[in-house]
Structure 1
């Protein structure tokens, strides 16, 4: 079902921001107790069903390795989130708040942008707080995100005339994808502090996804054709980057867990469908906004996005 995100509906979702935003409602509520770090009989650090490599025959019956890989993946996910919020999402917010696009948004949309900017800073903070605690306990490696490196490379190779527009597109994809991802993460029983953090994060990101969906569908018809051509090319590449699996992270952690090199290829192969599944699972909000904007009604744009897997849902 297509959700028609009208401006009044969007405004209502932010009217209680001053008391409902996680930075207001859950300040510094993310300290892991020694018990949480030690007793994991009934809880997980990250949903095992979302980490297909855990079911590989070299791993599935080794509980200590499974727990460690869950924890290390959570650290990697939170480190990625930390940098993403500061350098990607807030960069997109700046394009709206400070008139860096070819079309200016209304003043109330800019006010909401400032609210989101503050939210994202807090999301980065609590991601860092939890990641540091878990990484210290498990001596987890802090590896740079391949996904972020690819996004940065895309930005650097993009002509300056389109760079702000690309930042906006990346923010739009990021926020619509992460809202669905957090929705799914929040359905699982995890370590209590981690579960609470995901639910607090989702409470904010559900509003942010509505915001970026509205901004995207409002902006699209006002763009020049050359800008629309660029947006579609950017969407195709950005969604694939956001749905990619970090094989470098996996191999680095398999080595640290002491798994033999001969086992690595088949463990990596178990993740081959991860990107497709992630797109189906997390990309529906993005697709809804793209459909609502009418992009898929234009054959050349529909064909380009079909190749990127962006026309499902």
Structure 2
């Protein structure tokens, strides 16, 4: 793999006949042209939570906290329901800190250091380093806001492992693309970075949500729009450099990788439900009733629309049986 130490045992991505030895443009195009002035880490303001100004507002949109609609949760006192919403915000923010630093930045660093097995010009590698900087800052301000809210509301951040999903993602990558650890990691980053903008855009325009949360997610979404453009372009470069046999394997793996990236980490949700007063059996029943079924499939399809479009534009869905395979996973 280009740039790898000689002792590395990780396989390089095979180059196909369409690979370009001297690419001349970054996959992100001009998306990062104003990064030094426009990126949140360069000029963004720190978001402060002001509880005295936020009375009557919610900490997270109720429709994005599915368990609030369950009859066992609706029977709880309003104060407990409010705590559930705050803790769901904590999960949203702190899961992002793990995603950005442990998943996305691992891939961004590979690309920036020219160790991803994909030929990119210096401009593309510089853009990957800009993404690396962005993601570290997103992690910083996510934890910062969660801490501010915990102090102001008196609702502590539970001692959950908000990054447990990282290990599950690694297992999924090994299962779907055995023998291709680097490729699996890169694909997970690409999938996440083309999914996350849709998730972030659901919050900023909701006037019922507290201002600091709306502004933080708006800032995050603005940066992620640039990342989306970069990784969409990067996927096209990557796809062009894969051998025919590896393209078939990737096409078969992508739907499963998408669903793994969209899977809800129910561990912290169970903890939150128990803290709200439900016993173990009731908490398990809520999770079982809410997180699955047709509603979850519809939401996955909606959030994955841009990712599926990226695959279609690159030619993934032109592989024999690919469209049917995506449809089988609810992504058709």
Q: Given the two structures, how large is their TM-score scaled by the length of structure 1?
A: 0.87
Once residues 160 and 106 of structure 1 are traced to their aligned partners in structure 2, the CA distance between those partners, rounded to angstroms, is 29
- In the alignment, is residue 166 of structure 1 matched against residue 184 of structure 2? yes
CA RMSD of aligned residues (A): 2.3
The whole-number CA distance in structure 2 between the counterparts of 1:131 and 1:178 is 19
Q: More deviation in 260-269 or 241-250?
A: 260-269
Q: 1:51 aligns with which of 41, 65, 79?
A: 65
1:273-292 to 2 correspondences below 5 Å: 273=293, 275-292=296-313
Q: Which residue of 1 aligns with 2:94?
A: 79
- Match of 1:87, SS state, is helix
Q: Which residue of 2 aligns with 1:125?
A: 140
Equivalent-residue separation in structure 2 for 1:141 and 1:256 (angstroms): 9
Shift in Å at residue 203 of structure 1? 0.5
The 3-state SS of whatever aligns with 2:74 is coil
More divergent stretch after superposition (151-160 vs 10-19): 151-160
Conserved? CA contact 2:173–2:181, under 8 Å: yes
CA deviations 1:266-303 (Å, max 9, x no partner) are: 42203324532331231111011001011111123333
How do 1:229-308 and structure 2 match up within 5 A?
A: 229-261=248-280, 263-268=282-287, 269-273=289-293, 275-308=296-329
The equivalent residue for 1:194 is 213
Residue segments in structure 2 that go unaligned for 5+ positions in a row: 1-24
Trace 1:145-156 onto structure 2 (pairs within 5 A).
145=162, 146-155=164-173
**Corresponding residue for residue 60 of structure 1:** 74
**Structure 2: distance between partners of 1:8 and 1:261:** 51
CA contact (8 A) 1:135 1:141 kept: no
Count of matched residue pairs: 301
1:33-52 pair list within 5 angstroms: 33-35=50-52, 39-41=54-56, 43-52=57-66
Q: Distance in 1 between matches of 2:55 and 2:285?
A: 28
Worse-matched range after superposition: 241-250 or 179-188? 241-250
Q: Is the 8 A contact 2:26 2:124 kept in 1?
A: no
Q: Is the 8 A contact 1:23 1:119 kept in 2?
A: yes
Q: Please say if 1:216 is aligned against 2:230.
A: no
Structure 2 contact 27–234 (Cα < 8 Å) conserved: no
Q: Return the alpha-carbon distance in structure 2 between the equivalents of residues 167 and 9 of structure 1.
A: 18
d(CA) in 2 for partners of 1:57, 1:251: 16
The separation in 2 between residues aligned to 1:267 and 1:159, in whole angstroms, is: 33
| Maintained 8 Å contact 1:100/1:164 | no
Structure 1 or 2: more helix by fraction: 1
Greater mean deviation of Cα atoms: 65-74 or 126-135: 126-135
Query: Following the alignment from structure 1 to structure 2, what is the Cα–Cα distance between the partners of residues 201 and 309?
Result: 28
User: In the superposition, relative to structure 1, how do residues 158 and 278 fare at CA in structure 2: closer, same or farther (>3 Å)?
Assistant: closer
- 1:78-97 aligned at under 5 Å gives the runs 78-97=93-112
- Kindly state the Cα deviation for residue 230 of structure 1 after the two structures are TM-superposed: 3.5
Instruction: State the match for 2:38 in structure 1.
Output: 20
Q: TM-score, normalised by structure 2?
A: 0.83
Residue 32 of structure 1 pairs with residue 45 of structure 2: no
Secondary structure at the counterpart of residue 58 of structure 2: coil
Please state how far the C-alpha of 1:63 moved relative to its aligned partner. 2.0
